[in-house]
A and B are shown apart, each in its own frame.
Chain A
C-alpha cells in the first residue's frame, strides 16, 4: 500500500483497554464493581457530567481484563473471544433506537444483509457493554435491555426471530445523569431497579487537584488553583448553573495552561464560556477566575 495507515482500526469486540487508565477511587467503588461483575449484576453509574464515570468503566474493564487472566484462567479459556474483556461503549442520544443497538438489515447492491448492532456484538463477545447516558435513548431500548439485566441474560432479536444468550463475560453497564429536574428524562423505576447503582460526584479538592495535575500535566500549584476554581463554581449549581464545572473542563484548562496559554484566558475559554451562555453568570465566574488566578 502506498499510503501509510495513520490510524488504528479494530472491530469493537477487539477493543480492550490495554493500558491502565488513570483513576483515583473515591471509596470502595472498585471493589463493588468487581463483586458485581463476578456475580454478573448489571451496574448503573449515576452522577453529573465529567465526574469520571466513563473513565471508571474503562479502568474497570482494564482491571477485570487483568483480573480474569490472573485469577480465573479457567474462565478465560472458556471465553471464546479471548482472554481479555472487551469494552463496547455506546453513547446514547435521543435518536438512538433499539435497532441501533441490536442490529438491522442493510441494503446493498446484492440485496439485504443483516448487521449486528453493538449490543448484540457485546452479548456475543462477552464483553462489557457500556450505554452512556441511557436516559437519552428512546424508550423502546429499555425493552431489549430488560431481559439482559435479569436472570435470563438473553437478547431477543425479533427481526431475525432469534434469541441470543449472553456469553459468559457479558455485563451491561449504564450511566445516567440525574441531571436537572427533568421529569421526562428520568429513568423508569422498572429499569433502574435492575441495577446496582454507584453514585459519582466531583472529587474533593485535593483529589481533584491530583487528577488535574496528572491528566493535564500542569504543575501542582496550577492544579490546586484549578481544583479550587472547580469547587467555587460548583457552589453556583442550581443558582444559575445547571451543572457544576466538570473535572474534564478543569483538565482542559490545565492542558492549555501547560501549552503556555495564560491562566485566566485558559480558564475563560475552557471553563467560563463552556459552562454557561448567560452573560451575567459568565461575568461572575470570570470574577472568581480573576480572583484565583493572577
Chain B
C-alpha cells in the first residue's frame, strides 16, 4: 500500500466519519457510489467529490437528503462528464443547496437523465433557469423542482435555447400564479412533442400572453393541446405568428385565436388555407381585434358563399376597418347590417334569420294564427321528442325550418324551397292535421275507427269474454270477434271500455292504439296525411306548385332503390313515390301488384281537396290492413314488376272501398293472434299475448322509410298534445273546459306507446331509458310553459304584513296611499296600498346614445312621421270660407274686387286649428322580475377584453361588471322596453308633447315602488337618459296602485288630451294580489277598476303588452279600452312610437 493509498484511505475514513453524523442513507449511498467511482476518478477528484458531498450535507438541517441524492446521481453523471465538468456539476448542486435543499434534490435527481441531452457547458445555465423560479416560498420551490424533474423530458424535444425560453416564460407566469405556471409546465411537456418545429414560436406567444393577460395561459395551452396539434405543419407557424401579433397589439384570447384558427383552417380546402391566413393577416394589419372575429366566423360565412365571394366580403370589411375599429369588429362578427347585406348580396343561399319575419307573416296570413318560425335545431335542442336539427317540422304552433337553405344556385330558388317547405308545414296547421278528432266521421270512407278495438280494449274484451263464457248463457253477450253483425261491433267495443277505461292524452294516441304494429300505422298515416296536405296545397296555392314540383322531383331522386327493400318496405316506399308524383317506372313486387294498386288508389283518394284529417286516418287503417298481410321478406330484383299506369288500372275508377270494411274489422279483432288462424275460433286464438316476434320465417324486421326531406319530421301525437295545450292557453278550447293536469305518468305512458318515439329507442339502446325520462321531463316543462295556470309569480324579498290587516297611513314623505278594488265585496278597501315614489338612480348615458346610434334608421323614420304631426299643431289657417275672424287682407281684396265688379274671393276667414295639440302622456313601465327574461338565444359571452391584469384591479373590474350588468350579452324584455322608451323620448322631444316616464314594481301592498324616470313637468335633461339606463327588473307587478298614482299625476297636468300608456310583460301579480284562482281575478279586476277611474278623470288608458298569453286576461282587464298584444317583443321599439302617434293624432 502506497502512502498515497494510505492518504486516500485516510481521507475516506474521515469522510466516512463525518458522513456518519448524518442520517444513515447518506453514508450508505456514499459507499455505493464510492465503490463505483473509486477506479474511475482521480484520487484528488474523488476527494473533492466527497468533500462536496459533505459540504452539501452540512449546509442545512435537511440538506443531508440532497447529499444522499448527490451521491446517488454521481455515478451516472460521472459517466457522461469529464472530471472538471463533473466537479462543476457538483458545485452547482452545492450552490443550489444553499438556496434550498429540495432544489438540490431535484437537480441531482434529474441530472442523470438530463445529462444525456444537455451539453456540459450548459449545466450552470440549466440550474439558473430553474433556480430563477425559486423565490423562497414553498410553492416556488415546488415549481422549480418540477422544472428540474421535467428537464429530461423537455429536452427530448426542445433545444436548450428553447428550454431557456420556456423557463423564462414560466418565470414570468409564476410571478402571477404558481399554479398556472405548474399547469403550463405539465401542459408543455405534453404539447411540445406534438408541435416540434414550432415550439419556440409558441413559447414566444405564451410569453407575451403571460405578460399581457396571464389568466389566459391555461386556456392557451388547452386550446393548443386540443387543436393546434391537429393542424398541418405548414399552417401552424403562420397561425401562431398571427396569434402572437394579435397578442402583442393587445388582443386577448390567443387561445380562441388558435382554436378558431385551427377549426377554420381545417374546414377549408387545403389550397385555400394560405390565402385564408393571408386574409386574416390583412385584417390584423388594419384592425387587430377584428381578426379573431374573422377567423371565427369564416366557417359560417362559407356556408353561405364561396371562398372567392368571401374574399369580396373581406375586402369590403377591410374598407370598414379603416374607418373604425368598432365597426370592423361588428362587421367581422357578422353583427353589422352592412356586413349581413354584403354577404347576402354575394350569396345565393337563404338564411332563415334573414327572412324569418316574412315567413312568419306568411304563416300568419295563411293560418290566421301567430305561428312562430324557428330554426329546426332549436326544437331538437329542446329534446322533447324531435331529433333532427335539419329537417323541417312543426309541433302545431311553431314551424321549424333549416337555418340555411343552399340547394340551388339562385336566391329565388332557395327562397322558393323555403316557401315550399313552410307551406307544407303550415299546411299541417292550416288543414288541421293536429285537430284530429277520433269521433269526427270521415267524409270519403265508411268509418272504421269506432268499430275497431283498441289494443287495451282487446285485452279488456278478453276479460269480459272469459267472464261471459263463465256465465255461458246469453249468446249475443258472448263477444265473438268478427262474427258480430255489422251494426253491433260498436257496442261490443264500447262495452269492454267500461271494464277498463283507458284515458288518452290525445285523440291521436287513441287512434294509434288501434294498431299492433304502430310504426307501420304511423308510416302509413304519415304518407297519407302528407299527401292530403300536398293535395290541399296544390288546389289552394297553385302559385307555389312550380317550385313544389321541383322540390318533389328532387325528393324523388333522393329516394332509395325500391328493389333493395324487402316486400313490405318496398310497398311503403311505393306509397311515398306515388305521393311524390312518380307515375312511370313504378316497380312493385310482382306478387303484390294488387296491393300496390289499392295503395295507389288510397293515396289518390286522400289527395282530393275534400279530404279531412279523419279521411287520412281511415285511409291509414285500410293501408295498414293491406300492408300487414304482406310479409316483409327479401324480394329478388327479378321479382319486381312495373305497375301499369293508372289509366290502365280498371279498378282505379271504381267507387268501391279498396277493402271490405268487415274484413278489416275481422282482421283487427283477430290481430292479437298474428297467425290468423284464430278467425272463427277467437276463444283459442287470442289467448296469447300480442307477440310481435312470431313473424314468419325469412321475414325481416320492418323499418321505417327514409324521411322525405321537404316534409320533414311528422309527429302527430306529440304535436297534437303540444298544440292542444297552446290552444287552451289562447282560450280556444272551450267545450271540454278545464283539462286535467297532465302527469308525468301519463306522459310516460304516451311516450312508451307513441310510434313516433319507438324508432329512437331502438337506435340508442343503452341509456335509452334515461334519455326517455329526460325527454319526458323536458316535455313536461315545455307543456307547463304553455299552460298559463303554471305561470309562477316570483316573490320578492317580502316583509310580512298580514293581508287581512287594516288600512295603511302614509307618514313618510313621498309615500301615497290608494284604495284597492275588491271585486268580491264590490267595494273599495280604503287606503289599502302604499306607493313609494322615488327618483330612479342615475346610470350611464351610454345606453341612450348607443340605442339611438344603433337604430339611426328607425329614429329618422319615426322622426319623419312625427314631424308630419307638428305643422297642424300651430297652424293658423287662413283663407277659409268660414272661421273665427275675418282675415283683413282677404277682406280688403274682396272689397276691391267688388268695386271693380268682379267676383271676389269668398275665403275671407281665418281660424286657429281646433286640433291644436295639447297632449300629456304618462308612460308606465312594468319593471317586474319577469322582464329579466331573455328574449333571444343567449349569445356566448366573448368579451373579456379589457380585463385588467392586476388581480386586485381585476376583482374590482369583475365586481363592477357584475353589478352593472351592462355587458350582458343577451337582451332582456326590459332592455327592449328601454329601447322603445329611448326612441320615443327622442321623438317626443321633437313633437313637444308633455310626457312623463315612470316605472313600477314592488312587493306586497305596503311596498309599491314607483320610480320616476322623467316627471311630467320636468324638462328633458342629461339625467333622463341616465335614469333610463338604470331601468331594470325588480320584483312584482301590482298594477292598480301604480296606475292610480300615475293618473293622479296626469290629473294635475294641464292638457286637453291625457293618455296613460302602460307597457307590461304579463298579468298583474303580487303577493295577495294574484296567487290563487280568485286572487288572480282580483288583480285583474283591481287593475281594470283603476283604469276606469283614470278614464273618469278624462285620461285615455292604453295598454301594450308583450305577453303572448296576454289575450285572455287582457280581454277582461281592458274590456272596452284599447290594448295591443305584441306578437314579437322585438317589435316594441318600432311599434311604440307608431302606436303613440296613432293614438294621439
CA–CA, A108 and B368, complex, Å: 59
Q: Cβ of B881 < 8 Å from any Cβ of A?
A: yes
Q: Cβ of B1144 < 8 Å from any Cβ of A?
A: yes
| B419 & A291 in contact (Cβ 8 Å cutoff) | yes
Shortest beta-carbon distance from A64 to chain B in Å: 33
| B358 & A287 in contact (Cβ 8 Å cutoff) | yes
Q: Cβ of A2 < 8 Å from any Cβ of B?
A: no
Q: Cβ of B540 < 8 Å from any Cβ of A?
A: yes
If A139-B914, A184-B1145 touch, whether A108 touches B903 (CB-CB below 8 Å) is yes
CA–CA, A180 and B1122, complex, Å: 9
Q: Cβ of B367 < 8 Å from any Cβ of A?
A: yes
Q: Cβ of A281 < 8 Å from any Cβ of B?
A: yes
Q: Cβ of B739 < 8 Å from any Cβ of A?
A: no
In the complex, residue of chain B having the shortest beta-carbon distance to the beta carbon of A283: B358
Bitwise interface map of B from 546 to 563 toward A, beta carbon under 8 Å scored 1, else 0: 100000000000000000
If A239-B370, A287-B358 touch, whether A233 touches B365 (CB-CB below 8 Å) is yes
Q: Cβ of A104 < 8 Å from any Cβ of B?
A: yes
In the complex, chain B residues whose CB is within 8 Å of the CB of A104: 881-882
In the complex, chain A residues whose CB is within 8 Å of the CB of B901: 109
| A181 & B543 in contact (Cβ 8 Å cutoff) | no
Contact with B362, one of A264, A288, A294 (Cβ below 8 angstroms): A288
In the complex, chain B residues whose CB is within 8 Å of the CB of A108: 903-904
If A107-B906, A139-B914, A280-B357 touch, whether A292 touches B368 (CB-CB below 8 Å) is no
Q: How many chain A residues touch the partner (CB < 8 A)?
A: 39
If A184-B1057, A238-B1124, A292-B540 touch, whether A284 touches B1100 (CB-CB below 8 Å) is no
Bitwise interface map of A from 123 to 144 toward B, beta carbon under 8 Å scored 1, else 0: 0000000000000001100000
CA–CA, A294 and B543, complex, Å: 4
In the complex, residue of chain A having the shortest beta-carbon distance to the beta carbon of B1135: A240
In the complex, residue of chain B having the shortest beta-carbon distance to the beta carbon of A111: B898
Q: Cβ of A235 < 8 Å from any Cβ of B?
A: yes
Q: Cβ of B541 < 8 Å from any Cβ of A?
A: yes
In the complex, chain B residues whose CB is within 8 Å of the CB of A289: 543
| A232 & B366 in contact (Cβ 8 Å cutoff) | yes
| B903 & A288 in contact (Cβ 8 Å cutoff) | no
| A280 & B364 in contact (Cβ 8 Å cutoff) | no
Q: Cβ of B1059 < 8 Å from any Cβ of A?
A: yes
Q: Cβ of B327 < 8 Å from any Cβ of A?
A: no
Contact with A99, one of B423, B881, B914 (Cβ below 8 angstroms): B881
Q: Cβ of B270 < 8 Å from any Cβ of A?
A: no
Contacts of B367-389 to chain A: CB distance below 8 A: 367-368, 370
CA–CA, A238 and B361, complex, Å: 11
| A293 & B542 in contact (Cβ 8 Å cutoff) | yes
CA–CA, A78 and B362, complex, Å: 59
Q: Cβ of A70 < 8 Å from any Cβ of B?
A: no
Shortest beta-carbon distance from B622 to chain A in Å: 32
Contacts of A200-229 to chain B: CB distance below 8 A: 228
Bitwise interface map of B from 390 to 410 toward A, beta carbon under 8 Å scored 1, else 0: 000000000000000000000
Contacts of B1041-1080 to chain A: CB distance below 8 A: 1057, 1059
In the complex, chain A residues whose CB is within 8 Å of the CB of B543: 264, 289-294
Q: Cβ of A160 < 8 Å from any Cβ of B?
A: no
Q: How many chain B residues touch the partner (CB < 8 A)?
A: 45
In the complex, chain B residues whose CB is within 8 Å of the CB of A233: 365
In the complex, residue of chain A having the shortest beta-carbon distance to the beta carbon of B361: A284
In the complex, chain A residues whose CB is within 8 Å of the CB of B903: 107-109
| A239 & B364 in contact (Cβ 8 Å cutoff) | yes
Contacts of A266-294 to chain B: CB distance below 8 A: 280-281, 283-285, 287-294
Q: Cβ of A182 < 8 Å from any Cβ of B?
A: yes
Q: Cβ of B1143 < 8 Å from any Cβ of A?
A: yes
Shortest beta-carbon distance from B597 to chain A in Å: 32
In the complex, residue of chain B having the shortest beta-carbon distance to the beta carbon of A94: B915
Bitwise interface map of B from 1088 to 1126 toward A, beta carbon under 8 Å scored 1, else 0: 000000000000101000000000000000000010100
Shortest beta-carbon distance from A171 to chain B in Å: 26
Q: Cβ of A183 < 8 Å from any Cβ of B?
A: yes
Count CB-based A-B contacts (< 8 Å). Answer: 105
CA–CA, A109 and B1143, complex, Å: 46
Contact with A180, one of B364, B1142, B1144 (Cβ below 8 angstroms): B1142
Contact with A182, one of B367, B370, B1127, B1143 (Cβ below 8 angstroms): B1143
In the complex, chain B residues whose CB is within 8 Å of the CB of A1: none
In the complex, chain A residues whose CB is within 8 Å of the CB of B906: 106-107
Q: Cβ of B285 < 8 Å from any Cβ of A?
A: no
Q: Which of B545, B894, B898, B908 has the most CB of A within 10 A?
A: B898
CA–CA, A264 and B914, complex, Å: 45
Q: Cβ of A97 < 8 Å from any Cβ of B?
A: yes
CA–CA, A236 and B359, complex, Å: 12
Shortest beta-carbon distance from A92 to chain B in Å: 15
Contacts of B440-496 to chain A: CB distance below 8 A: none
Shortest beta-carbon distance from A278 to chain B in Å: 10
In the complex, chain B residues whose CB is within 8 Å of the CB of A290: 543-544
Bitwise interface map of B from 346 to 366 toward A, beta carbon under 8 Å scored 1, else 0: 000000000001110110111
| B1057 & A240 in contact (Cβ 8 Å cutoff) | no
If A239-B364, A239-B1127, A293-B543 touch, whether A183 touches B1144 (CB-CB below 8 Å) is yes
Q: Cβ of B801 < 8 Å from any Cβ of A?
A: no
Q: Cβ of B1139 < 8 Å from any Cβ of A?
A: yes
Q: Cβ of B902 < 8 Å from any Cβ of A?
A: yes
CA–CA, A294 and B547, complex, Å: 11
CA–CA, A138 and B1144, complex, Å: 16
| B902 & A109 in contact (Cβ 8 Å cutoff) | yes
CA–CA, A46 and B914, complex, Å: 26
CA–CA, A184 and B368, complex, Å: 30
In the complex, chain A residues whose CB is within 8 Å of the CB of B915: 94
In the complex, chain A residues whose CB is within 8 Å of the CB of B1122: 181, 183
| B881 & A294 in contact (Cβ 8 Å cutoff) | no
| B1144 & A240 in contact (Cβ 8 Å cutoff) | no
In the complex, chain B residues whose CB is within 8 Å of the CB of A94: 915
Contact with B542, one of A138, A183, A239, A292 (Cβ below 8 angstroms): A292
Shortest beta-carbon distance from B689 to chain A in Å: 51
CA–CA, A281 and B359, complex, Å: 10
In the complex, chain B residues whose CB is within 8 Å of the CB of A239: 361, 364, 370, 1127
In the complex, residue of chain B having the shortest beta-carbon distance to the beta carbon of A289: B543
Contact with B1144, one of A184, A232, A284, A288 (Cβ below 8 angstroms): A184
In the complex, residue of chain A having the shortest beta-carbon distance to the beta carbon of B904: A107
| B882 & A235 in contact (Cβ 8 Å cutoff) | no
In the complex, chain B residues whose CB is within 8 Å of the CB of A281: 361
Shortest beta-carbon distance from A237 to chain B in Å: 10
CA–CA, A99 and B901, complex, Å: 26
If A183-B1122, A184-B1145 touch, whether A280 touches B540 (CB-CB below 8 Å) is no
| A138 & B419 in contact (Cβ 8 Å cutoff) | no
| A181 & B882 in contact (Cβ 8 Å cutoff) | no
In the complex, residue of chain A having the shortest beta-carbon distance to the beta carbon of B907: A107
CA–CA, A12 and B142, complex, Å: 109
In the complex, chain A residues whose CB is within 8 Å of the CB of B542: 292-294
In the complex, chain B residues whose CB is within 8 Å of the CB of A292: 540-543
CA–CA, A100 and B905, complex, Å: 17
CA–CA, A180 and B1144, complex, Å: 12
If A239-B364, A284-B361, A292-B542 touch, whether A183 touches B1057 (CB-CB below 8 Å) is yes
In the complex, chain A residues whose CB is within 8 Å of the CB of B914: 138-139
Bitwise interface map of B from 161 to 185 toward A, beta carbon under 8 Å scored 1, else 0: 0000000000000000000000000
In the complex, chain B residues whose CB is within 8 Å of the CB of A240: 361
If A228-B540, A232-B366, A239-B370 touch, whether A183 touches B1100 (CB-CB below 8 Å) is yes
CA–CA, A7 and B894, complex, Å: 33
CA–CA, A182 and B898, complex, Å: 45
Q: Which of B366, B370, B419, B1144 has the most CB of A within 10 A?
A: B366
Q: Can you sample 5 A-B contacts with CB below 8 Å? A: A182-B1142, A235-B366, A236-B365, A291-B366, A291-B544
**5 closest residue pairs by CB, A with B:** A284-B361, A291-B541, A235-B368, A181-B1122, A183-B1100
Task: Supply 9 further A-B pairs (C-beta < 8 A) apart from A109-B902, A183-B1122.
Answer: A100-B881, A183-B1059, A183-B1102, A235-B364, A236-B364, A239-B1127, A290-B543, A291-B543, A292-B543
